[in-house]
Structure 1
Amino acid sequence: MFTSELQAGGVTMECVMYRTAIKDGPIINVIDTPGLFDSSVSANYITTEILKCLTMAEGGIHAFMFVLSAGNRITQEEESTLDTLQLIFDSKILDYFIVVFTGGDKLEANEQTLDDYFSEGCPKFLTGVLRLCGGRKVVFNNMTKDKVKNAKQVKQLLAHVEAIEKNNGGKPYTNQMHRMIKEKGDKLREQQRKVKSKKLASEIEVMKQDLELEHDEKMRRMTQLLERRLKQNSEAHERAMREMREAMRNYK
C-alpha cells in the first residue's frame, strides 16, 4: 500500500491517486505526495504538486497519513515536515492525522510489537505528534504475503478514518485553498452545463479559453503563496541545523 525503498531521495516524485474498493466496504482514494523537503526538486515543483493534490481531493480530505519507517531514527526533515504542513494548512489537520509506520517486518524479526517499540524510548517528537492526534497509529508490513495480516492492518487504518469522520461531525478537512479550487470547479461545471444546453460550440471554446486563463492566474497566485511559506520554513529549518552544528562544534 505504501512504497518504501532504500534510497537517499524521496520515493514519490509526483502526486498519484490510488483507488481501491474494499470488500463489503467503501471505495478508497489514497493520494501519495512528494516529500516537502526533497532536495532533488524545487520549491515551485513541490507547491505545484500540493495544489495538484488539493485539486484531486476537491471535496475535502478525510485523513492525513504521516508515513514513517518503524525502527528508523526520526530525521530533522520529518520533524520539519509536520511544521510545514501546519504552516501550509493549519493546526486543524492534526484532527485528521494518522501516523502510519511501514517496516512492521523489522519489528516482527526482533519479536517486537509497535507498543514495544514505543516503550523502549519513543522519540519526544513522535510522542508529541501521537498526543496531538489522539494516539492514532497503525503499522504495515512491507514484505509479508499473509493476506489475513494485510487485511487486518487495512481494517485498523479504516477504523481510524471512521473515528476521525465521527469526531469531526462527518466533515472532511478543507481550507481556503480547497474552497477556492472547489469554487473554480463548480463554476466551470455550471458554465459548461449552460453552454452545452444551448449547443453553441463557438461559445464553449471561448468559455474554455477564458476559464483556463482565470484558472492559471488563480493557480499562479496560490503557487506563489505556498512557495513563500515553504521558503520561510526551509530557511528556519536551515538556521536550526546550522545552530545545532555550531553547538556540537563548540561542545567538542
Structure 2
Amino acid sequence: MGGRSIDVAQELPFPNAARTMVLFGRTDIGKSATGNSILGKKAFISRRSSSAVMTTTELKTAILRDGQQINVINTPDLFDHSAKSDFIGKEIAQCIKLAEDGIHAVLVVISTRTRFTKEEQSAICSLENLFGRKIFDYTIVVFTGGDVLKEDETLEDYLGRDCPGPLKEILGLCGNRYVLFDNKTKDESKRVEQVQRLLSLVNLVISQNGGWPYTDERFAKGKVFVVFSFIYSNFLRLIIF
C-alpha cells in the first residue's frame, strides 16, 4: 500500500523503547484520525469542521499488542497563515516539553483527496525554521485518504500519475519515506498492518540517524532560540512586505 518498509529493530540500541512521533499538517486532512489509527483508539477529537478542532498540542499514549509503547503528539495547524507568532511559539514550546526524551519521527500528513499546493510546500519547509534542517532526516510523509484509491491502485501508482513537482521536492527532502493510511477502515488487520509499516519506517529513521531520536542541542535545551528566531523571522517579513 505504498512506502518503504524495512525491519531494523534489532539494529537499534533500545529496540523496545517508546517511540515518540509528532503530527504536523493542515486542518481537515485526517491528522487527528491518523493519530487515532496509530494508537488504535479514539484518543484525539477527529471530525470535519469549518474551523480547527484542535486548539493546543496534545500527547496521547498507547501500548501495542507486542508491548511497544507509542507516544503521539498532535499539533494544531501551526502553518496556517493566520496563526500568530506567539501562538506558534507557545505550541512549539509545548511540543518540546512533551517530547522531553526526543522525537523519533516527524509525521507530515498530506491528503490524497486534495491537490498538493505550493502553500503546503512552503508550510512544510518552514519546519526547518522551527527545528533546523536536521529535522528532515526524521520526517516521514503520511498520505491519508487510502480509502479513495481504487482497490488495485497503490500509492506509487497515485504518485506516478498525480505527483506535482513541489511534492516530489518534499518527498526528496524526507528521503522518500512515505506511507499510505486508510483511517476509515473497519478491518483491524489492515489498520495494524499500516501502523506496523509506519513503525518500520520510524525504526529506519532511527537507524539511519545513529540509533537515536532527534534531540539536537537547541532542542534538548528547550529550543528557546528556535522559537525566538521563528518569531523574529515573521516580524522581519511583516516589515519587508
Which category describes the TM-score, using the shorter chain as reference length? 0.7 to 0.9
2:63 to 12, 18, 21: 21
1:39: how far off?
Answer: 4.6
Distance 2:174 2:77 in 1: 20
Matched position secondary structure for 1:31: strand
1:120 to 155, 161, 167: 161
Judge conservation of contact 2:143–2:181 (CA < 8 Å) in 1. Answer: yes
Give the 3 Å change call, closer, same or farther, for CA 231–33 of structure 1 in structure 2: farther
1:169 to 210, 220, 223: 210
Is residue 74 of structure 1 aligned with residue 116 of structure 2? yes
Question: Which digits, 9 at most, give the CA deviation of each residue in 1:36-66, with x for residues without a partner?
Answer: 2325542211110011001111121110100
Distance 1:13 1:151 in 2: 29
1:147: how far off?
Answer: 0.2
Judge conservation of contact 2:118–2:166 (CA < 8 Å) in 1. Answer: no
1:170: how far off?
Answer: 1.2
Distance 1:235 1:31 in 2: 33
Aligned pairs for 1:115-154 within 5 A: 115-154=156-195
- Runs of 5+ consecutive residues of structure 1 not aligned to the other structure: 182-217, 240-252
* Percent identity for Structure 1 against Structure 2: 39
* Structure with the larger RCO, 1 or 2 (CA within 8 Å, 6+ apart): 2
Question: Which digits, 9 at most, give the CA deviation of each residue in 1:141-189, with x for residues without a partner?
Answer: 12111001000000000000011111111111123432223xxxxxxxx
Taking only aligned residues, the RMSD between alpha carbons, in angstroms, comes to: 2.5
Judge conservation of contact 1:62–1:165 (CA < 8 Å) in 2. Answer: yes
Matched position secondary structure for 2:162: coil
Give the 3 Å change call, closer, same or farther, for CA 21–224 of structure 1 in structure 2: same
2:125 to 83, 105, 108: 83
Distance 1:127 1:176 in 2: 30
Give the paired residue count. 199
Aligned residue number for residue 50 of structure 1 = 92
- Runs of 5+ consecutive residues of structure 2 not aligned to the other structure: 1-32, 36-45
